[in-house]
Chains A and B, each alone.
Chain A
Amino acid sequence: MINFLSNLDGPVELGLLYALMALGVYITFRILDFPDLTVDGSFTTGGAIAAVLITNGVNPWVSTLAAFGGGMLAGVCTGLLHTKGKINGLLSGIIMMIALYSINMRILGKPLISLSGEETLFSSIDAIWVMAVIVIAGKLLLDAFFRTDLGLSLRATGDNHRMIRSFGVNTDVTKILGLSLSNGLVALSGAVVAQHSSFADISSGIGMIVIGLASVIIGEAVLGNGSIFRTTLAVVLGSIIYRIVVAVAYEIDWLETSDLKLITAIIVIIALVVPTIRRSMKQRSMARKRSAELLTGNQGKGGAA
C-alpha cells in the first residue's frame, strides 16, 4: 500500500488521458441533460483515426487533431438523428454506437493496430506533462467557451430549452453543437490513449460512457458543482480519482481485472442512488420536525385559550 501511494504517477497520468473523455461526457450528461451513448463508439473512432494516420507517417499532432474532427462528426450524426429524425436521445446514441463499430473497423482495417516504434505525442516528452498541458488548456478553453453568447445558449438548452427558444435560439443547432463538441473531446481522449498504450483496438471504447459518468460523479462529490470553472476542474479531478480507485482495486488480490467494469458500475449506482436517498431522508426529517413544531405550537395556543 505504501509502495503504491509513493507511486501515484501512473494513475494521475491515466486520469489525465481519460479526463478529456470525462469532460465530453460532462457536456452531454450534465450541461445538455442528454445521456449520450455515442461515446463508446467515438472513443474508438478517435483511437482508430490517430493510429491509422500515425502509421501512415502523418505528424502525431495533426493525427490527434484529425481524431478530434472525426469525433465531432460522429456527434453531429447523433445530433441529427435526435433533432431532425426525432429519435429518442438514448436510442440515437445507441444507434450511432452500433454504426460506429462498423465504421471503426473500416478505419482500422483489422481489429488492432500497433503503434510501437512510431513517433507519437509522447515520444520525446513524458506523457504526464504533455497531458497536463493538453487537459489544462482544454479545460480553460471550455470554461471560456461556456461564457460566450454561444456557450450560454448551449447551457440554457440543457437548463430550460423553452426559455432559450423564446429568446431566438434554435435548440436543434445548440444540441448538435454540444454533441459534436462532446464527442470530439471523447475521440481526442481515444487518440491520446491509443498513443499512450501503443495500440488502437476495436473494443477500446466499450464501457467508456460509464467510466465517464463515474468520473463526473466522483468529481462532483469531491468538489461540488458551483461555477463552470469549478465543475470542469471537478471532472478532471474525478477522472484522476477514478484511476486511483482502480489502481487500489488492482492491489487487492482476490479481484480480477475483469471485475473492473462491475466496480465502475457500482460506483455509478452508488453515486446516483445516494443523493436521492439523502434528499428524501432530509425531507422526511424536515417534515417530522415541522409537524412536531406545529403540534407543540397548536398545543401551546390551545393551552392558553
Chain B
Amino acid sequence: MLKMNHVSKLFNPGTVDEKIALMGVNLHLKPGDFVTVIGSNGAGKSTLMNIISGVMKPDAGEVSIDGSSIGHLPEHRRSRWIGRVFQDPMAGTAPNMTIEENLAMAYRRGSSRGFQIGVTSSKRKLFKEELQRLGIGLENRLRAKVGMLSGGERQALSLLMATFTKPQILLLDEHTAALDPARAELITKLTNEIVSDLNLTTLMVTHNMEQAIRLGNRLIMMDKGRIILDVNEERKKDLTVEQLLGEFENISGHKLSDDRIMLG
C-alpha cells in the first residue's frame, strides 16, 4: 500500500535555525492498517503527513502508493488517493459555501471538474444518507453555510468529506485536538466507525495516549524526526499508558513532552 523509504526532511538547512523534521524514516502500511502515531511536539508527525499528501517534497527518500512512486506528483494530483482531516476545524471546509456544496466538491475528489451541475437531486439524496451516519442532524441543514456550524460539527463534516469517496489512504492530524472533550469523543467514535466500515488504510496522529492504544491495529512513536517504536497488534492489546511512557523514556532518553498530552 503506502511505502516510505529513507525519507528525510530538513527546514532551513545550513542555518542556525536548521530543524530536522524527518530523518531516514521508513514506513510501510498494509491495506486496511489503522496506525496511530504519537510523539512529542516537533517530532515530525505533521511533516510526515505533509510529505505523504504532497504539501511538501522530501529532501531525500521515496514515497510510493501501490508500488508506483508518487514523489514527483503535486498535492492536487495525489488527492485522488489521499483523504485528509486537519487539526483546525476551519481548515477542512469552505465556510462561505453550503454543506451540500462542500459535499459536492468532496464528491469529485481527484476527478476532473467541468460544467456539470454540482448539487443535483440525486447527489443531494446521497449526501443526506451520508450525513445521517454522523447522527448530529446535519442532514436537515443541507443549505446552511458551513461557517455557521460549531467546531465539532465542522470537524464531523470534514471527516465525512475526507472519507465518503473511500480514499486509499486517510490521514488524520490531531483532528480532535481543537475540540472540547465531549466533541472530541464523538469525532473519535465516528472516526473509528467510518474507518472500520470502509476498511480505510489510516494514519492518525493523536496526543491522547489512551486513544492511541485503544484505536487501530498498530502504534508508532516518533521523536526528533525518527520512528523510535513500532508496536504491532498483539503487543498493543495489553499495552498500558504507563508502559508506553516508560518505553518512550527508555528509548529516547527524555520524557515525552507535549503540554497537551492526555494520558487517558
Contact = CB atoms under 8 A, between A and B. Distances in A.
Interface stretch (B59-67, B71-79, B205-213): B71-79
Contact of A168 (B77, B91, B115, B119): B77
A79 B118 CA distance: 25
Contact of B113 (A147, A149, A162): A149
B110 interface: yes
A167 B107 CA distance: 9
Nearest to B90: A160
B97 interface: yes
B108 interface: yes
Contacts of A243: none
B91 A163 contact: yes
Interface stretch (B24-32, B98-106, B227-235, B254-262): B98-106
Contacts of B90: 160
A159 interface: yes
Nearest to A157: B94
Given A168-B109, A171-B76, A163 B119 contact: no
Nearest to B106: A167
Contacts of A163: 91-94
A187 B117 CA distance: 27
B117 A159 contact: no
A272 interface: no
B116 interface: yes
A150 B104 CA distance: 11
Contacts of B161: 167
Contacts of B77: 168
Contacts of A160: 90-91, 93-95
A170 to B, nearest CB: 5
Contacts of A150: 113-115
A180 to B, nearest CB: 16
Nearest to A146: B118
A236 interface: no
A175 interface: no
Contacts of B79: 165-168
B95 A167 contact: no
Given A167-B109, A169-B113, A152 B93 contact: no
A71 B118 CA distance: 27
A156 B76 CA distance: 14
Contacts of B117: 147-149
Given A165-B76, A165-B79, A166-B75, A152 B118 contact: yes
A172 to B, nearest CB: 9
B150 interface: no
Interface size class, chain B: 35 or more
A171 B55 CA distance: 13
B53 interface: yes
Contacts of B118: 147-149, 151-152
**Of B86, B106, B118, which is in contact with the most chain A CB atoms at under 10 Å from its CB?**
B118
B227 to A, nearest CB: 24
Nearest to B53: A166
B80 interface: yes
B97 A159 contact: yes
Interface string A211-232: 0000000000000000000000
Nearest to A167: B109
A229 B114 CA distance: 20
A156 B79 CA distance: 16
A171 B113 CA distance: 12
B96 interface: yes
Contacts of B80: 168
B114 A149 contact: yes
B116 A148 contact: yes
A167 B113 CA distance: 11
Interface in B81-95: 82-84, 86, 90-95
Contacts of B104: 149, 152
B184 to A, nearest CB: 21
B111 interface: yes
Given A147-B119, A165-B76, A152 B114 contact: no
A162 B108 CA distance: 16
A225 to B, nearest CB: 9
Contact of B94 (A145, A164, A168): A164
**Of A147, A152, A155, A165, which is in contact with the most chain B CB atoms at under 10 Å from its CB?**
A152
A189 to B, nearest CB: 24
B186 to A, nearest CB: 21
Interface string B156-184: 00000100000000000000000000000
Contact of A162 (B91, B96, B114, B115): B91
Contacts of B113: 148-150, 152-153, 169
Given A155-B94, A163-B92, 5 more contacts: A148-B115, A152-B118, A153-B113, A156-B105, A162-B91
Top-3 shortest CB links A-B? A168-B79, A149-B113, A159-B94
Interface of B: 53, 74-77, 79-80, 82-84, 86, 90-97, 101, 104-106, 108-111, 113-119, 161
6 contacts: A147-B117, A149-B117, A152-B101, A160-B93, A167-B108, A168-B80
